[in-house]
Amino acid sequence: MKKLICLVCLAMSVMVGSVSAQSIKPQDAITDDYLPLLQASGYQVYSFDISEFLNDSYFFKFQIKEYVNKEEAEGKQRNFMFPNRVMLSEMPESSQKSILQKGRAADPEKGVYIQSKKLTVGFRPAKEDSVQFVRLSLDGLGESGMPLELKPLKESQNDKQFYYYESRPFKIEKFEEGKFIPLVFFASYWYDEKGGFFRFCGADEIGPNMEADYVENTPHFYVIGVEIKKK
């Protein structure tokens, strides 16, 4: 019996030794560690690669269209326009020389001073529940932020109103110069009378013609897109 007890104790001491050899080591948090926290706090970013347009100069005109009960709100469209690149030839000669000498040109062989390879549409929460901020950016060449007014939800007249919105990217099938290209759909939840709850569910992305269940059901939404024209 004593021999059995000794063997058990020996086995336990080996197990404790092997466990104690393991350790949890602190390390610096990286960007990916912050993403779930930011998304849970109401931050969302959609990024689009526009590097294929760098062979020429274009204007990217952001447009925000508001819809109430599937009808576009008159006089509510908002526009912001930025170029996708700035050429050295557009700068004074003295500035061109300084830029080249300091190695600040994005592509000196093609005569490009600044160029953008990325377009982003980002959302961040506001201090007021009835507002959501959107940021439109052409990386390195321009950005604009503005508030989007939200519509309240409530189950009945006696219930306290609240605001709950979701966003979805559009499926981009082709590019046509001068034509509005929808990028992001931002919309309110709606009340499902059959289920007795508020919902927003459906496809992870929307076709360019806005064929999705939540487009048909949401009472209020914004379509954020861009129109691209050569300079």
Instruction: Write the pLDDT tens digit of every residue in 175-206.
Output: 888 999 999 999 999 888 787 888 887 788 88
CB atoms within 10 A of CB 212: 19
Instruction: Write the pLDDT tens digit of every residue in 20-48.
Output: 578 898 998 888 888 888 888 888 999 99
Confidence of residue 19 (pLDDT cuts 50, 70, 90): low
Q: What is the mean pLDDT of residues 78-90?
A: 92
Q: Residue 120 has what pLDDT?
A: 96
Contact 217, 188 (CB under 8 A): no
Q: What is the mean pLDDT of residues 129-156?
A: 89
Name 153's bridge partners.
Answer: 162
Kindly report the pTM of this predicted structure: 0.81
Look-up: residue for tokens 């914004």?
A: 222
The residue among 209, 210, 225, 174 whose CA lies nearest residue 52 is 174
HEC states along the chain? CHHHHHHHHHHHHHHHHHHHCCCCCCCCCCHHHHHHHHHHCCCEEEEEECHHHCCCCEEEEEEEEEEECCEECCCCCEEEEEECEEEHHHCCHHHHHHHHHCCCCCECCCCEEEECCEEEEEEEECCCCCEEEEEEEECCCEEEEEEEECCCECCCCCCCCECCEEEEEECCCCCCCCCCEEEEEEEECEEECCCCEEECCCCCCECCCCCCHHHHHCCEEEEEEEEEEEC
CB atoms within 10 A of CB 116: 23
Q: How far apart are CA 130 and CA 151, in angstroms?
A: 7
Q: How far apart are CA 73 and CA 67, in angstroms?
A: 5
- Percent of the chain at pLDDT > 90 equals 49
Q: Residue 4 has what pLDDT?
A: 47
Contact 42, 123 (CB under 8 A): yes
Q: Residue 158 has what pLDDT?
A: 65
Domain boundaries, the chain: 30-230
Can you say whether residue 42 is alpha, beta or left, with left for phi > 0 and alpha for psi between -120 and 50 degrees?
left
Q: What does the radius of gyration of the chain's CA atoms come to, in whole angstroms?
A: 27
